[in-house]
Homo-oligomer: A and B are copies of this chain.
Amino acid sequence: MPDTHALPPTHGRFDLRRVGIEGIRKPIHVLRAGRDIVLSTEFSVAVDLPASRKGSDLSRNAEILAEITERTSQHPVGSLEAACSQIARELLVRHPSASESQVVASAEYFLRQGIAPGRESYEDFRLLAESRASRANGSVRIVRSIGAEGVGMTACPCAMESCRELLVREFPELAEPRWKDLPMISHNQRNRTRLELEAPEGVDIEADDLLAAIASAQSSPTFAILKRDEEAQVVLNAHRRPRFVEDVLRELLAGLPARFPHLPDEVEVRAETVSEESIHKYDVRASHRTTLGELRRATAL
C-alpha cells in the first residue's frame, strides 16, 4: 500500500502544531483505594507534524490508545493521568518525526457521598487529565495536569442583603441585632467548578482532594438523596455561606496552600467556576490561572 502520509506536503512546507484524533471513547481500569473501577473516558490524542511530512498517520494514535487502555483491564493504572502519560510517551516512540505529543482525557467519576452517614449514594463528578510529552536532549519530558469538576450550589450574598433591606421595610424588627443571624431569602443555583493542577511527573495529586477543595468552596455541596429535613438543611447551609462566583474562586484558590503543602511552588493552577443564575437566563463565570507559589505569597500576607 502506498504511504501517502510520508510524502512531502503538497500545500505549504511548514510545521503544524497539532494533528490528532478526538472524541474517541474507551473504558479504562483505574485502581482507587484498592478498588478496580472502570472509567468511561473520552480522549483526544495528538502530535505535532514536521514540515517534511504530508500526513501524521493517525492510525498509530488509535492503535496506541487501544493497546494502553486495554492493557488496564489486566493491570489497572494508578490514575487517569498515569494512563495519559503512558500514551503520550508511546506517541513519541511511534511518531519518530514528532517532537511533542498531547493526550487529554475526561471521564465520568462516581463518588459515594451523602448528607449524613447512612444516606450516601453515587454522585457524579468529572475527572480531567492531560499529559504533554516533549523530546529534550535525547530523553522525554512529561508535564501532566490533573483536574476535577464538581457541581454544587451557591446562594448570592448581594441579593440576600438587598432582600433583607426590602423586608425590613415590612418587618422593622429584622433590623434588630436579635435577627442578624436569620438567613434571608436570596437567589441560589447550580454551580459548576473546575480545578486543574499542572505538575511535572513524580508529583502526585489525588483527584478526590481536588473535589473536596471544590465542594468546600461552594455555598453547599448537593446530593441526590435528601429527605425533607435534609433538604432544608442544605438550603440553610447554603444561605449561611452565601457566595459570589468570585468568592467561590478565591476560597478555592486560597485554600490550596494548606491542602497541598507537599507540592512545589512551580505547580500551575487553573480554576474556573460557573453559576447558572436562577434570576437570569445567562450564566456567570469567574476564572483564574496562577501558580501555587503565587498563592502561597498572596495568602501569607
Q: Are A246 and B159 in contact (CB under 8 A)?
A: no
A249 in contact with B16 (CB, 8 Å): yes
Let me know if A187 and B187 touch, CB within 8 A: no
**Nearest B residue to A19, CB-CB:** B286
Contact partner of A288 among B16, B151, B274, B289, CB < 8 A? B16
> What is the minimal beta-carbon distance from A279 to any residue of chain B, in angstroms?
5
- Chain B residues positioned under 8 Å from A170 (CB to CB): 181-182
Q: Contact check: which of B59, B182, B188 meets A171 at CB < 8 Å?
A: B182
Q: Could you tell me if A25 and B124 are in contact, using CB atoms closer than 8 angstroms?
A: yes
Query: Distance (Å) between the CB of A141 and the closest chain B CB?
Result: 21
**CB-contacts of A215-247 with B (<8 A):** 217, 220, 222-229, 231-236, 238-239, 244-247
Say yes or no: B229 contacts A1, CB within 8 Å: yes
A235 to B190, CA, bound (A): 16
Residues on the B chain within 8 Å of A25, using CB = 108, 110, 124, 282
Interface membership of A201, Cβ < 8 A: no
A158 in contact with B283 (CB, 8 Å): no
Give chain A interface residues in 190-216, CB to chain B under 8 Å. Answer: 190
Instruction: Known contacts A184-B185, A190-B276, A279-B222; decide if A56 and B246 are in contact (CB<8 Å).
Output: yes
Closest partner residue, chain B, to A179 (CB atom): B171
- Chain B contacts of A284 at CB under 8 A? 19-22, 58
Cross-chain contact B1 with A162 (CB below 8 angstroms): yes
Any B CB within 8 A of the CB of A265 = no
The one of B163, B233, B277 in contact with A232, judged by C-beta atoms closer than 8 angstroms, is: B163
- Judged by a CB distance under 8 angstroms, whether A268 is at the interface is no
Q: Does A12 contact B (CB under 8 A)?
A: yes
Taking a contact as CB atoms under 8 Å apart, the answer to whether B59 and A234 are in contact is no
Query: Which of B3, B17, B187, B239 is close to A231, meaning CB atoms less than 8 Å apart?
Result: B187
- Would you list which residues of chain A between 156 and 188 have a CB under 8 Å from chain B? 157-159, 161-163, 165-167, 170-171, 179, 181-188
A282-B23 contact in complex given A159-B232, A162-B1, A185-B236, C-beta closer than 8 Å: yes
Is A259 an interface position by the 8 A CB rule?
no
Is there a chain B Cβ closer than 8 Å to A70's Cβ? yes
Q: Is A260 an interface residue (CB 8 A)?
A: no
Residue of B nearest to A155 (CB): B185
Shortest Cβ-Cβ A-B pairs, 10 listed: A12-B254, A162-B232, A11-B251, A66-B121, A12-B250, A24-B282, A4-B158, A14-B298, A1-B228, A11-B250
